[in-house]
């Protein structure tokens, strides 16, 4: 306070005292005024605090709360405008929360902006986490990019306070704007801090509530069962999935224990393990087999965890249960498919290998024996080819059932695929294996009634014994396979033990397979002809075509050895057709040379017989050579005709209609059903040379041959005996009224030129023998 006068010494002591008193009064008044202003501001701050507290507690929606807070603060600071901005979840972009008294263009410009250093007051405050006070927007560097828009909005200063969560995360910013450059006073700072503090609580609270809401929805709507129990395992909560799946309602299970779901099929140690873990404060995860209210069992994967309060004390257990019944079934199915043959249900190669490894290990440890059998079905391909794969499959299924029935539990019988089986016999030596092989032969050979078919089949078995024939599965399998091949060669329907000598034979087999592929194209094959005689007329009535193979290195190979190889490899189809064409054309040539009555007998293998359009092929070949069908006789073995008699009948009928004759070769060696024989369109039975061989020394063979001849007569069939080597045999056959004969007694199989010469030389060959026979009577 200053007092001025026009002259010196104008103020005397009295005036000075008065002035002093006046100054003191003014000072007092000013102090009172400031005190009053401070009190008013404190009251405002206090009532603002109360207001904010009430809003934070009661307002549910954040938008509403932001709006109310801004309006309230603008009332407290009448010449200001306030704003609340929040940060997006990415912690980078700004969301314009509430700024009701700022123009729309301004809030739109801010919304979506990325925070950063010097991005206005709020962008900078959120970026730096520090209060950012800009008293004059027009001159402050933070506002360079925004002062134009701020000017248009009439804003001259902006103080911004970052909003921080309880864990110090930046949630947004609260700001106060003025229309003129303004410096904040202390209580403005208090206002900023208070608003930011309560806004942080509100945002935190809102986030927690929203998370809780989501969590509770997730729990309630979870497709998995959720159970919350107290520490004594009494149920306090179950979700809807529990109710839907188990069939128990919430009220039915509250206060009960989850053991109401137990099926009794979860191992006891699973529960023990579970409680050990939970009691020690840990979580447990495992599989439980439980039961729904309707009694249906299910398998669940349960995750059980303790729930702790703020002090770390366990208050509850929460159990999340996923129904894995289907998953388990699928896993089991996959396991099954990986280890078992789908058709027969027998173990497959994978399981066999696993079990064989264990068995071999145990045999090695205990010094005990082990036998491995390899067996397949003889001529199984014929069944598939002629009756279809479904009949073949049905046979395999029935066979597998029988195998399971007759074998011991410990024996492992496995199907490798097709008609190949392996039998693993732990603790079984050669003697035991022999017994099992006999049993197997018998079991397989029992007839199979499959729908309309009554089928008979045999098996060939190869046996390898551990450790003599191999110390590992691979060697045992290979050697058993070799032994099986030998069983096939030795006539099928039998078993053979592996011997080292067989190994060399299996090498030979491979050699033949490879060489035979080129035999036809390299002209290594030729046909020879064995004369056949009529015992009635004494004349040569024809010949049997017999195939020969001469290999440049391997030499002459017997058809008994290579025909099975040709059948196995399928080469028999091309080779057989070639034989038929050669034989037919040679016979036609002989006709043209003057032997017009000669017939030709050609062997047909089972595979040829079943091959589609055999009758068509035969007709075509006859047509090519212009040979009448009646001169051709096809020789079928008993086995070929008997695997599927109805199918054989159909093919035979077709051939018969085309004028081709048929005979049954090797008659007496198989198991012909006489009832079928009647229906076969065959004209002749060929008595197997094994009966003829001992006809004069073995009364049984004698009886068989007589019986076959008389049976054939009564069926209206002719007979031909093969393998006639002696006069005694011929005499006997003549006495029994056998129609025809063939054998070394007359001639070996001959090349065409020799055959022609033979015919020229022996016009009345049998007549002579006949005369001898007659004279000996
Ligand atoms: N599918 C085809 N099979 C054929 C063909 N060619 C021959 N074969 C079959 O091979 C097996 C062996 O035949 P092979 O070595 O030719 O033996 C035949 C005759 O040579 C022999 N035979 C004839 N007479 C006598 C004899 O007095 N004693 C004696 N020990 N053997 C003799 O017998 C075989 C006759 O065979 P088959 O009449 O067919 O039974 C044999 O199974 C042939 O069938 C072919 O082209 N296709």
Residues in the chain: 777
Say what the pLDDT of residue 611 is: 74
What average pLDDT does this structure show over 82-107?
96
What percent of the chain clears pLDDT 70, i.e. is strictly above it?
A: 96
Strand partners, 340: 347
Same domain for 197 and 52: yes
How far apart, in whole angstroms, are the C-alpha atoms of residue 505 and residue 509? 6
pLDDT at 503 over 80: no
Strand partners, 523: none
Whether the Cβ atoms of residue 633 and residue 740 lie closer than 8 Å to each other: no
pLDDT at 765 over 70: no
- 542 vs 610, higher pLDDT: 542
Mutate which of 559, 611, 693 for ligand 1? The one with the most ligand atoms within 8 Å of its CB, which is: 559
Say what the pLDDT of residue 762 is: 81
pLDDT at 17 over 90: no
pLDDT at 147 over 80: yes
Q: Is the CB of 639 under 6 A from ligand 1?
A: no
Strands 525-534 and 495-497 come out as unpaired
Q: Model confidence at 643, in pLDDT bands (50, 70, 90)?
A: low
What percent of the chain clears pLDDT 90, i.e. is strictly above it?
A: 72
Q: What does the pLDDT look like over 558-606, one tens digit per residue?
A: 999 999 899 888 899 999 999 999 999 999 999 999 999 999 999 998 8
Lowest mean pLDDT among 37-46, 404-413, 502-511: 502-511
pLDDT at 190 over 80: yes
Whether residue 363 is contained in a domain is answered as yes
Same domain for 72 and 202: yes
Nearest CA to ligand 1 atom 14: 559
Prediction ipTM score: 0.94
Say what the pLDDT of residue 773 is: 41
Say what the pLDDT of residue 770 is: 43
Torsion of CA 559, 564, 569, 571, to 10 degrees: 40
Q: Model confidence at 767, in pLDDT bands (50, 70, 90)?
A: very low
Residue 252, CA atoms < 13 Å, CB-side half-sphere: 9
Same domain for 131 and 261: no
Boundary-marking domain end, from 498, 522, 551: 498
What average pLDDT does this structure show over 384-394?
86
CATH code for the domain in which residue 193 is found: 3.30.450.40
What average pLDDT does this structure show over 271-278?
94
Same domain for 396 and 300: no
Boundary-marking domain end, from 450, 479, 498: 498
* Of residues 335, 352, 490, 478, the one with CA closest to residue 417: 352
What average pLDDT does this structure show over 680-700?
91
Q: Is the CB of 246 under 6 A from ligand 1?
A: no
Q: Which domain holds residue 373?
A: 340-498
Say what the pLDDT of residue 673 is: 59
How far apart, in whole angstroms, are the C-alpha atoms of residue 431 and residue 434? 5
Nearest CA to ligand 1 atom 29: 723
pLDDT at 772 over 50: no
Same domain for 372 and 256: no
- List Cβ neighbours of 508 (8 Å cut-off, separation of 6 or more): none
* Of residues 777, 775, 766, the one with CA closest to residue 535: 766
- List Cβ neighbours of 140 (8 Å cut-off, separation of 6 or more): 134
What's the mean pLDDT when you consider all of the chain? Answer: 91
Distance from the alpha carbon of residue 751 to the mean position of ligand 1, in angstroms? 15
Same domain for 353 and 295: no
Say what the pLDDT of residue 42 is: 87
Q: Is the CB of 663 under 6 A from ligand 1?
A: no
Q: Model confidence at 308, in pLDDT bands (50, 70, 90)?
A: very high
Whether residue 746 is contained in a domain is answered as no
Give residue 229's Cα distance to chain centre.
41
Tell me the DSSP string of 27-93. Answer: HHHHHHHHHHHHHHHHHHHHHHHHHHHHHHHH---HHHHHHHHHHHHHHHSTTEEEEEEEE-TTSSB
DSSP 114: B
How far apart, in whole angstroms, are the C-alpha atoms of residue 716 and residue 693? 25
Total structural domains in the chain? Answer: 3
Q: What does the pLDDT look like over 346-377, one tens digit per residue?
A: 999 999 999 999 999 999 999 999 999 999 99
Mutate which of 562, 578, 603 for ligand 1? The one with the most ligand atoms within 8 Å of its CB, which is: 603
Q: What does the pLDDT look like over 714-747, one tens digit per residue?
A: 989 999 999 999 999 999 999 999 999 999 999 9
Whether residue 191 is contained in a domain is answered as yes
Whether the Cβ atoms of residue 383 and residue 644 lie closer than 8 Å to each other: yes
How far apart, in whole angstroms, are the C-alpha atoms of residue 458 and residue 636? 18
How far apart, in whole angstroms, are the C-alpha atoms of residue 31 and residue 91? 47
What average pLDDT does this structure show over 91-107?
96
Whether residue 649 is contained in a domain is answered as no
Same domain for 270 and 208: no
Say what the pLDDT of residue 324 is: 93
pLDDT at 546 over 80: yes
Say what the pLDDT of residue 776 is: 33
Distance from the alpha carbon of residue 647 to the mean position of ligand 1, in angstroms? 26
Q: At what angle do helices 559-569 and 473-489 cross, to 10 degrees?
A: 120
Whether the Cβ atoms of residue 677 and residue 683 lie closer than 8 Å to each other: no
Distance from the alpha carbon of residue 574 to the mean position of ligand 1, in angstroms? 19
CB count in 10 Å sphere of residue 215? 10
Q: Is the CB of 161 under 6 A from ligand 1?
A: no
pLDDT at 764 over 60: no
Whether residue 209 is contained in a domain is answered as yes
Tell me the DSSP string of 559-610. Answer: HHHHHHHHHHHTTHHHHHHHHHHHHHHHHHHHHHTT-TT-EEEEE--HHHHH
Q: Which helix (H) or strand (E) holds 115?
A: none
Same domain for 491 and 473: yes
Whether residue 742 is contained in a domain is answered as no
Q: Is the CB of 530 under 6 A from ligand 1?
A: yes
What average pLDDT does this structure show over 266-281?
93
Alpha helices (runs of H) in 226-370, residue ranges in sequence order: 240-246, 250-253, 268-279, 325-339, 349-366
pLDDT at 338 over 70: yes
Q: Is the CB of 564 under 6 A from ligand 1?
A: no
How far apart, in whole angstroms, are the C-alpha atoms of residue 451 and residue 182? 106
Global model pTM greater than 0.90:
no
* Of residues 373, 372, 340, the one with CA closest to residue 359: 372
Strands 314-323 and 225-230 come out as antiparallel
Q: Model confidence at 774, in pLDDT bands (50, 70, 90)?
A: very low
pLDDT at 666 over 50: yes
Buried-exposed string 313-345: b where 16+ CB fall within 10 A, e elsewhere? eeebbbbbbebbeeebeeeeeeeeeebbbeebe
Boundary-marking domain end, from 460, 480, 498: 498
Nearest CA to ligand 1 atom 25: 723
* Of residues 720, 748, 438, 768, the one with CA closest to residue 599: 720
Same domain for 227 and 181: no
Same domain for 325 and 233: yes
Same domain for 374 and 311: no
CATH code for the domain in which residue 245 is found: 3.30.450.20
Whether residue 734 is contained in a domain is answered as no
Q: Model confidence at 681, in pLDDT bands (50, 70, 90)?
A: confident
Q: Is the CB of 638 under 6 A from ligand 1?
A: no
Distance from the alpha carbon of residue 546 to the mean position of ligand 1, in angstroms? 6
pLDDT at 127 over 90: yes
Distance from the alpha carbon of residue 381 to the mean position of ligand 1, in angstroms? 23
Whether residue 702 is contained in a domain is answered as no
Q: What does the pLDDT look like over 75-90, one tens digit per residue?
A: 999 999 999 999 999 9
HEC-encoded secondary structure of 617-651: HHHHHHHHHCCCHHHEEEEEEHHHHHHCHHHHHHH
Q: Is the CB of 719 under 6 A from ligand 1?
A: no
Same domain for 265 and 175: no
């Amino acid at each position: 306070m200053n007092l001025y006068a026009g002259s010196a010494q104008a103020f005397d002591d009295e005036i000075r005292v008065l002035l002093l008193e006046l100054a003191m009064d003014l000072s007092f008044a000013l102090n009172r005024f400031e005190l009053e202003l401070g009190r008013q501001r404190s009251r405002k701050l206090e009532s603002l605090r109360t207001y904010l507290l009430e809003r934070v507690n009661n307002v549910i929606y954040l938008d509403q709360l932001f709006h109310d807070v801004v309006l309230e603060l603008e009332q407290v600071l009448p010449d200001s405008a306030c704003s609340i901005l929040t940060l997006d979840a990415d912690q980078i972009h700004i969301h314009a929360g509430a700024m009701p008294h700022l123009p729309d263009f301004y809030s739109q410009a801010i919304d979506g902006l990325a925070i950063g250093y010097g991005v206005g007051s709020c962008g900078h405050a959120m970026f730096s986490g520090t209060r950012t006070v800009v008293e004059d927007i027009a001159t402050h560097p933070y506002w360079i990019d925004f002062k134009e828009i701020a000017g248009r909005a009439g804003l001259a200063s902006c103080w911004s306070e970052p909003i921080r969560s309880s864990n110090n995360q930046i949630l947004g910013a609260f700001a106060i704007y003025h229309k003129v450059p303004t410096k904040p006073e202390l209580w403005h700072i208090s206002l900023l801090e208070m608003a930011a503090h309560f806004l942080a609580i509100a945002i935190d609270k809102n986030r927690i509530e929203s998370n809780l809401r989501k969590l509770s929805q997730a729990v309630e709507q979870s497709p998995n069962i959720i159970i919350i129990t107290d520490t004594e395992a009494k149920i306090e909560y179950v979700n809807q999935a529990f109710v839907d799946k188990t069939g128990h309602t919430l009220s039915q299970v509250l206060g009960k224990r989850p053991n109401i779901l137990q099926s009794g099929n979860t191992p006891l140690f699973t529960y023990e393990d579970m409680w050990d873990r939970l009691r020690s404060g840990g979580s447990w995860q495992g599989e439980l087999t439980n039961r729904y209210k309707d009694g249906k069992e299910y398998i669940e994967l349960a995750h059980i965890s303790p729930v702790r309060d703020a002090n770390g004390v366990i208050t509850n257990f929460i159990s999340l249960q996923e129904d894995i019944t289907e998953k388990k079934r699928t896993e089991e199915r996959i396991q099954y498919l990986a280890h078992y043959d789908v058709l027969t249900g027998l173990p497959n190669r994978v399981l066999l290998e696993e079990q064989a490894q264990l068995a071999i290990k145990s045999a090695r440890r205990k010094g005990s024996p082990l036998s491995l059998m390899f067996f397949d079905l003889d001529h199984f391909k014929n069944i598939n080819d002629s009756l279809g794969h479904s009949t073949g499959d049905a046979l395999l299924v029935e066979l597998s059932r029988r195998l399971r029935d007759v074998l011991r539990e410990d024996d492992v019988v496995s199907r490798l695929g097709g008609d190949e089986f392996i039998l693993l016999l732990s603790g079984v030596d050669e003697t035991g294996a022999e017994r099992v092989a006999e049993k197997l032969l018998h079991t397989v050979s029992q007839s199979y009634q499959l729908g309309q078919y009554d089928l008979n089949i045999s098996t060939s078995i190869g046996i390898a014994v551990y450790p003599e024939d191999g110390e590992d599965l691979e060697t045992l399998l290979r050697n058993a396979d070799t032994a099986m091949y030998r069983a096939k060669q030795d006539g099928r329907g039998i078993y053979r033990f592996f011997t080292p000598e067989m190994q060399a034979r299996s090498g030979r087999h491979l050699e033949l397979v490879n060489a035979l592929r080129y035999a036809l194209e390299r002209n290594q094959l030729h046909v020879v002809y064995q004369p056949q005689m009529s015992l009635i007329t004494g004349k040569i009535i024809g010949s049997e075509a017999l195939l020969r193979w001469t290999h440049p290195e391997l030499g002459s190979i017997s058809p008994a050895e290579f025909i099975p190889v040709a059948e196995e490899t399928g080469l028999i189809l091309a080779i057989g057709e070639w034989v038929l064409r050669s034989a037919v054309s040679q016979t036609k040539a002989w006709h043209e040379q003057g032997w017009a009555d000669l017939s030709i007998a050609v062997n047909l293998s089972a595979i040829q017989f079943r091959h589609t359009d055999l009758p068509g092929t035969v007709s075509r070949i006859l047509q090519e050579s212009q040979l009448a069908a009646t001169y051709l006789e096809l020789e079928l073995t008993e086995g070929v005709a008997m695997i599927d008699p109805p199918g054989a009948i159909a093919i035979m009928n077709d051939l018969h209609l085309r004028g081709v004759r048929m005979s049954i070769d090797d008659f007496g060696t198989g198991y012909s059903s006489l009832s079928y024989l009647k229906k076969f369109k065959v004209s002749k039975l060929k008595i197997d040379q094994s009966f003829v061989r001992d006809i004069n020394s073995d009364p049984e063979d004698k009886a068989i041959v007589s019986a076959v001849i008389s049976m054939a007569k009564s069926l209206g069939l002719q007979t031909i005996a093969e393998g006639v080597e002696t006069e005694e045999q011929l005499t006997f056959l003549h006495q029994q009224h056998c129609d025809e004969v063939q054998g070394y007694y007359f001639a070996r199989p001959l090349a065409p030129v020799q055959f022609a010469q033979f015919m020229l030389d022996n016009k009345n060959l049998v007549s002579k023998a006949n005369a001898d026979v007659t004279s000996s009577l």
